[in-house]
Structure 1
Amino acid sequence: MKQEFISSIGRKIKEERLKANLTIRDISERSGLSKGLISKIENSRSIPSMPVFFSILKSMSIAPVKFFEGIDCADDDGHILIKPANHEPLLKEERPGFHYRYIMSRQLHDINIEVVLLELEPGVKGKATSTDGFELKYLLKGRVAYRLAEKTIILEEGDTLYFDASKPHRPENLLNTNALMLVFYFMYPKS
């Protein structure tokens, strides 16, 4: 499946780190970057600036040319068709009961837009997270309580929620069946 190479950076960093048997702490100590920032980058919750990106590569002793081998850049022929069979499982965070499937992402100016399907198991509650940017959630199936800082918003099928994702947020599936959300992340690079 063709995809914008920028969307693959976090996943590729994690893949290379695990191949080298390095922990996030190892990368943090070698690069001088916080463990939290590295985790956010690996989980596509933040896009690294160029200096941050090169610090991470240097900490793993990987040349940029080598890093980008095998990452396919999409041709811009005016449309993209993605079949459900091409929705790749995506490990965004280690949260039991959360199942992400990557659909696509595109770079528009300095904002990266990533689209995923998020399936929540019955009764699951996530821990609060934050992202560098904004999120739009469209509830396809189920009933979800979305906690935004101190506020709770109930989402029902067909509801759309857009918010500043830098504030702590988490979903809670309110039903005894799986909930399904289409999620758009609008992320900008942090320096």
Structure 2
Amino acid sequence: MSNDLILQISNRIKEKRKEQKITLQELAAEVGVTKGLISQIENSRTVPSLTVLLSIIKSLHVDLNDFFDKLDTSSSNEPLIIRAGEISTIEKEYTKGTHYFRITSFKHQGKLVDVVLYKQEKTARKGYVSTQAHEFDYMLKGKMQYTIEGKKYVLEAGDSFYYDARKEHHTKCLSEEPFEMLVVYFFDEE
């Protein structure tokens, strides 16, 4: 299975940074951007400008050819099958009790679509976040609450929810067991 090019670049940045044992803060200081921006880039929440991307690669002391060498740029009209063992764990927020599992990502009509299984435990203490995407959620298990612009929305198994995830939002598990939802991110073109 081949991830979208943007996700591959995000993952490559994180991989190279961790290989060199460089913290987010250290890389951000070297590049001249915020730690939050580096985190958003690594977690595919935003796409860096060409200048920032090149600065990141340079700051990681990686040859440009080496950085881009193994990226899969092929495209196919074949059906996509994702086997259970191909789902990968991804880090999004640095909060204990939240778990993201990427099922797949692809481009549709020029826009990035990212499909994730998200689980959150009752004890998770997660702050407000935003993503450069619109988001569709389908609750698989449990009960949860979204808070968006001061409004609270409660979802239970079987419920669907679609919203502009660029707005700061907060999730809270309301069930004893972790809630699980299928999340589809529709990233904006920029």
TM-score by length of 1: 0.89
Preserved contact between residue 147 and residue 153 of structure 2 (Cα < 8 Å) = yes
What residue in structure 2 maps to residue 107 of structure 1? 107
- C-alpha separation between the residues in 1 aligned to 2:50 and 2:110? 12
| Aligned residues: CA RMSD | 1.9
Query: Following TM superposition, by how much is the alpha carbon of 1:29 offset from its aligned partner in structure 2, in angstroms?
Result: 2.1
1:177 maps to 177
Distance in structure 1 (CA, Å) of the matches to 2:158 and 2:115: 17
Calculate percent identity across the aligned residue pairs: 34
User: 1:89 offset after TM fit, Å?
Assistant: 1.1
Residues 108-143 of structure 1: per-residue CA shift (max 9 Å, x gap): 355321111001123534211111222211111111
- CA separation of 1:189 and 1:55: change in aligned 2, threshold 3 A: farther
Task: Please give the residue correspondences for 1:35-114 in structure 2 after superposition, counting only pairs within 5 Å.
Answer: 35-114=35-114
Pairwise CA distance, 1:75: 3.5
Equivalent in the alignment of 1:32: 32
C-alpha spacing 1:49/1:113, structure 2 compared with 1 (3 Å): farther
Rounded Cα–Cα distance in structure 1 between residues aligned with 2:14 and 2:120: 24
Q: Which moved more, 1:95-104 or 1:109-118?
A: 109-118
Counterpart residue number, 1:134:
134
User: How far 1:53 moved relative to its partner?
Assistant: 1.5
Which digits, 9 at most, give the CA deviation of each residue in 1:72-92, with x for residues without a partner? Answer: 345412310101221111122
* Contact 2:96–2:125 under 8 Å retained in 1: no
Matched, 1:120 2:101: no
Higher relative contact order (CA 8 A, sep 6+): 1
Count of residues in Structure 1 that have an aligned counterpart in Structure 2:
190
C-alpha spacing 1:30/1:125, structure 2 compared with 1 (3 Å): closer
Gaps of 5+ in 1: none
Asked if structure 2 preserves the Cα contact closer than 8 Å seen for 1:116 and 1:184, the reply is yes
**AA paired with 1:42?**
E
Whether the 8 Å contact between 1:117 and 1:182 is mirrored in structure 2 is yes
TM-score by length of 2: 0.90
Cα distance in 1 for partners of 2:150, 2:171 equals 13
C-alpha distance in structure 1 between counterparts of 2:46 and 2:187, whole Å: 7
Alpha-carbon contact 2:6-2:44 (below 8 Å) kept: no
Between 103-112 and 129-138, report the one with greater CA deviation.
103-112
Kindly indicate whether residue 157 of structure 2 is the aligned counterpart of residue 157 of structure 1.
yes
CA shift digits 1:14-65 (9 cap, x unpaired): 1111112222222222222222111111122112232222221122122332
Check whether the contact 1:46–1:188 (CA below 8 A) recurs between aligned residues: no
The separation in 2 between residues aligned to 1:188 and 1:51, in whole angstroms, is 20
